[in-house]
């Protein structure tokens, strides 16, 4: 373990984020800082007293000893049932006092009573929020030198809950229904209905081009102005594109050319199948490319927010195989993993992972 930086392990699930933090110079067998926060990045506290426009709250004991003004960046508080609050940029709270894990604010958005639980909206992602608490770094200040190890079911949950952004698939003409038809495989021998793909693109655009098994062009790609203009009509509904052509594993030139044109014409995130799966099999490559295109913006936003939290922040992300990859080599398609395997892979380095303080 590096003696000059923090080592922080974060496992983000659908509800909670569990964090282990090793300060610089500590050993593996030392007792790390441990914290459990909401995966939304929100912070909950107990109301101690409410007088006029003043609200005194107590956070978890883990948050005690933080510098004055640490919680000043929190946005509008919400009272149960935690309905979304309007985040007004003019509604900035003034910290009147801060000691022992509690703060006193100059006003409160909703009427609260002693013993109520209030939720404050954080502008940080859950791992960054936990890192700020454990390193006592106020918002607005860069985090210290940190090696982050991140495991998350964010991508899996987005697929299961249907919360991925719309994707436009660009594929050879005649194969527009390949993901709907699939391979007609049945889960059991006598099942009448074949297994269908559970995730399909919102839009499919046929590409008039074809190559042979050696990657040689039979029908060369021709991108006229009218063709490109027709692609632009999908931009208001979908800015994420997946490009998958037959035999692009042998010759990716056409895919790369289409990808470049899409980027030049306003598509924000473009994924070519040859970048992910350089093997034969149009169906497998199309499925992988579409899923990656849907998850890429989600994972880029999530990891980007962590990366921007400090100039000396380094990130390794756990893949579905349990291995760790540096941020610049991580692919969104590799983030599909379930909670229990994710937990076991991350927490193997410290088995005594119970009694986490909750915030």
Residue 3: how many CB atoms within 10 A of its CB?
8
pLDDT band at 188 (very low <50, low <70, confident <90, very high): confident
Residue 53: how many CB atoms within 10 A of its CB?
9
Tell me the pLDDT tens digit for each residue of 320-336. 888 889 999 998 888 87
Which of 208, 294, 216, 298 minimizes the C-alpha distance to 258? 208
**Do 190 and 74 fall within a single domain?**
no
Residue span of the structural domain in which 49 resides: 42-121
* CATH number of the structural domain spanning residue 2: 3.30.420
Which DSSP string corresponds to 20-77?
EEE-TT--TTS--EEEEEETT--EEEEEEEEETTEEEEE--GGGTTPPTTGGGG---E
Highest mean pLDDT among 22-36, 97-111, 189-203: 22-36
**Do 145 and 113 fall within a single domain?**
no
In contact, 195 and 155? CB cutoff 8 Å: no
Asked if the structure places residue 209 within a domain, the reply is yes
**Do 35 and 136 fall within a single domain?**
yes
pLDDT band at 359 (very low <50, low <70, confident <90, very high): very low
Q: Which parts of the chain are beta strand (E)? A: 6-12, 16-22, 33-38, 43-51, 54-58, 77-78, 95-99, 102-105, 117-120, 146-152, 167-172, 203-207, 210-211, 217-219, 240-244, 269-272, 313-318, 324-326
**Do 19 and 60 fall within a single domain?**
no
**Do 73 and 180 fall within a single domain?**
no
Asked if the structure places residue 173 within a domain, the reply is yes
**Do 189 and 256 fall within a single domain?**
yes
**Do 67 and 140 fall within a single domain?**
no
What is the total count of domains within the chain? Answer: 3
**Do 237 and 357 fall within a single domain?**
no
**Do 293 and 171 fall within a single domain?**
yes
Tell me the pLDDT tens digit for each residue of 241-285. 999 999 888 889 999 999 999 998 888 889 999 888 778 888 889
**Do 142 and 210 fall within a single domain?**
no
Element (H, E) at 299: helix 282-307
Q: Is the pTM of this model over 0.85?
A: no
**Do 147 and 9 fall within a single domain?**
yes
């Amino acid at each position: 373990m590096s003696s000059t930086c923090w080592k922080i392990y974060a496992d983000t699930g659908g509800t909670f984020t569990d964090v282990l933090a090793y300060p610089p110079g500590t050993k593996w067998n030392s007792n790390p800082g441990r914290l459990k926060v909401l995966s939304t990045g929100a912070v909950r506290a107990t109301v101690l007293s409410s007088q006029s426009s003043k609200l005194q709250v107590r956070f978890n004991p883990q948050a005690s000893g933080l510098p004055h003004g640490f919680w000043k960046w929190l946005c509008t508080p919400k009272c149960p049932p935690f309905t979304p609050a309007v985040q007004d940029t003019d509604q900035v709270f003034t910290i009147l006092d801060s000691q022992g894990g509690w703060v006193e604010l100059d006003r409160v958005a909703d009427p609260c009573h002693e013993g109520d639980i209030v939720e404050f909206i954080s502008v940080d992602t859950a791992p960054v929020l936990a890192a700020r608490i454990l390193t006592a770094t106020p918002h607005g200040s860069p985090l210290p030198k940190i090696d982050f190890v991140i495991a998350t079911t964010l991508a899996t949950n987005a697929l299961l809950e249907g919360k991925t952004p719309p994707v436009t698939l660009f594929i050879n003409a005649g194969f527009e229904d390949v993901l709907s038809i699939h391979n007609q495989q049945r889960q059991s021998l006598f099942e009448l209905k074949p297994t269908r793909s559970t995730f399909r693109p919102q839009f499919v655009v046929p590409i008039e081009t074809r190559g042979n098994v050696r990657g040689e062009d039979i029908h060369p790609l021709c991108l006229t102005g009218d063709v490109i203009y027709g692609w632009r009509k999908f931009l208001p509904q979908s800015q994420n594109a997946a490009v998958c052509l037959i035999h692009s594993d042998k010759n990716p030139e056409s895919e790369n050319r289409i990808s470049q044109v899409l980027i030049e014409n306003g598509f924000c995130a473009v994924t070519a199948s040859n970048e992910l799966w350089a093997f034969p099999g149009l169906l497998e490559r199309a499925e992988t490319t579409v899923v990656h295109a849907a998850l890429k913006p989600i994972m880029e936003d999530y990891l980007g927010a962590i990366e921007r939290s400090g100039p000396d922040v380094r990130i390794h992300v756990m893949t579905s195989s349990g291995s760790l990859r540096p941020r610049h080599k991580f692919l969104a398609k590799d983030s599909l993993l379930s909670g229990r395997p994710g937990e076991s892979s991350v927490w193997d380095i410290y088995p005594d992972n119970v009694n986490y303080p909750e915030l």
